[in-house]
Amino acid sequence: MSYEGNHQTPPVNFVSPKAYVGNGVKIWHFAYVGNDTTIGNNVMIGSLTHVDYGVKIGDDCRIEGSVYIPPLTEIGNHVFIGPGTKFTNDPYPMSKKMIGVKVEDGAIIGGGSVIKAGVTIGKNSVIAMASVVTKDVPPDVVVMGHPARIVYTRKEYDQKKSNWDNP
């Protein structure tokens, strides 16, 4: 169907009527939010992002474009997820049993990262861009690589960021 020349609005995104969406949430173009998903307050979800059914997202999160968040994923408060990040929920595809990823409060996940099913990303940890996370990440560390490994503490990361922001 063509939308040119008529007054119809083209489809922009889909948010299930069975999803709970908090106050101040912004969902950009062509995003999908499935049944029984809970999105907290002041969350931004980027274009082309797929948030499947049964996902829990806390308050004040920013999820960039082209992110895939499968069922059973739990995301805490104040979490940043970079563009193109992929979470998984099936450690042995196509198994009959799935397990979600848990992202604790204050975590930062760099763009293009892949997170294995069942992994917990600890509070205030940072996942460097394009990392492949295959095991739990402790709180307050920075991991990078394939597979991801600890490279320094969150305190060192914050100092590097401060030096970058304030030369």
Residues 88-131 have pLDDT tens digits of 999 888 888 999 999 999 999 999 999 999 999 999 999 999 99
Instruction: For the chain, give the mean pLDDT.
Output: 93
Alpha helix (H) residue ranges in the chain: 154-165
**Token pair belonging to 84:** 């193109």
Q: Which fold has domain 14-165?
A: UDP N-Acetylglucosamine Acyltransferase; domain 1 (2.160.10)
Name the percent of the chain lying above pLDDT 90.
84
**Token pair belonging to 79:** 């979490």
Q: Is pLDDT at 59 greater than 60 in this prediction?
A: yes
Looking at residue 87, its pLDDT comes to 98
Residue 154 sits at φ, ψ, to 5 deg, of -65, -35
**Which DSSP symbol is given to 137?**
B
Per-state percent for the chain, helix, strand, coil, to nearest 5: 5, 30, 65
